[in-house]
Amino acid sequence: MSAAPGSKGKVLLAYSGGLDTSCILVWLIEQGYEVLAYMANVGQEEDFDAAREKALKVGASKVFIEDLRRELVEELVIPTIQANAVYEAVYLLGTSVARPVIARSQVAIAQREGCTHVSHGCTGKGNDQVRFELAYYALDPKLQVIAPWRIPEFYHRFPGRNALLAYAAEKNVPVSQTPSKPWSTDENLFHISYEAGILEDPNVTPPKDMWKLTVDPEEAPNTPERITIEFKAGKPVRVTNEADGTDVSDPLDLFLYLNTVARRNGVGRIDIVENRFIGIKSRGCYETPGGTVLRAAHIDLEGLVLDREVRAYRDEHITPVFGKILYNGLYFSPEGDLITKMVPLTQTNVNGSVRVKLYKGTLSIEGRWSETETLYDMEQSSMDVQGDFEPTDSDGFIKIQSIRLKKWGSTFQQQKK
């Protein structure tokens, strides 16, 4: 028997407009909650007006649609690039970087509207349930979380898509007639992910029509495209492309343009198997066009302008840790707060420009320079010019470095005897 609507309090549901969250919305109302729907615009291709109308039609008392694109770029994407953050050496954290801004906005609305609960449509096997809920609890420990896909009453009632479709028909929930693709996706302006369905077999080659953002590298233009990216304190501040006359500096517009250029040249695809935080291995395919270009250019510039020991310390103690914090949903944590404050300290001298060539799914660096940083000295590095470096100074350097190796070598020779 259904409880009286609103008798159990207000819940703010993270709503996508799809089948799952539309059914969850109706089910929560059945359970006695007043349901408010929340959507975050993080750059995904979505008809937000249609989703708003759908949420109201199926019973939401209010719908909130928040444009978080600029926050995502300035507060998460750029620091991730500054840190060269990556998970398991290949995954550029496209889904992970969006979760903090989405969760923070959801909690703020829930507090403003007097909600007692928040809810989401994440599965019980994935990373996102962890990311969202740890953020909720860190930002407002008093909020209660409803995770339907971990509630036996819910997942036993809806064991598959057909059960959800039957429920939607019973409750007059509008359902798109578009055939369901044999994989699931998550999209924001940083990337799109594909997983589940036919992709669960790690040896199945993704069909060509799966890839949504980037041109098939084999079908990309036969002429290379060249751009220049300028950085200040590790942040991208300008992108120019003489071929099409582009000169962009606004952070959001800059990133969207990099997406455009990379997409049309087929740059940014990966297909990997990763280790989820909860302990399950998962196969995922990702398109991260602009992020791939930006990260490669940033890493290259650091080779020119960043002190060796600062870079080594950052690479060992900040880059992998920041990636793991984002992936595991611990952005709002003591360690997350610490690491985000450390990243800018490593970027003070990352000033300069990088010339990038994009061609048929690949990118290559064609040059870099800095007008302010002087760690690189052409004369000192030259094999043709001595400059102020005295070659005999290397004698002492090599002798000091060899002391322990001579000891080790002597011991090794004695053991052989």
Q: What Cα–Cα distance (Å) separates residue 226 from each residue in 235, 267, 344, 359, 367?
A: 20, 13, 28, 9, 11
Q: Which of 179, 154, 182 is nearest to 23 (CA)?
A: 154
φ/ψ of 216, rounded to 5, equals: -55, 125
Considering the candidates 69, 99, 104, 283, report the single residue annotated as catalytic.
Answer: 99
| Segment (H or E) for 139 | helix 128-139
Bridge-based pairing state of the strands 225-232 and 235-241: antiparallel
d(CA 103, CA 65): 13
Bridge-based pairing state of the strands 144-146 and 117-119: parallel
Considering the candidates 16, 20, 69, 283, report the single residue annotated as catalytic.
Answer: 20
Q: Are 45 and 16 in contact (CB under 8 A)?
A: no
209 is catalytic: no
d(CA 387, CA 377): 9
128 is catalytic: yes
d(CA 326, CA 85): 9
Show the beta-strand stretches assigned E in 120-191.
144-146, 184-187
253 is catalytic: no
Considering the candidates 16, 22, 96, 128, report the single residue annotated as catalytic.
Answer: 128
| Segment (H or E) for 23 | helix 19-30
99 is catalytic: yes
Q: Are 85 and 322 in contact (CB under 8 A)?
A: yes
Considering the candidates 140, 184, 238, 307, report the single residue annotated as catalytic.
Answer: 184
Residues paired with 37 in a beta bridge: 13, 63
Show the beta-strand stretches assigned E in 120-173.
144-146
Q: Catalytic residues, which ones?
A: 20, 99, 128, 184
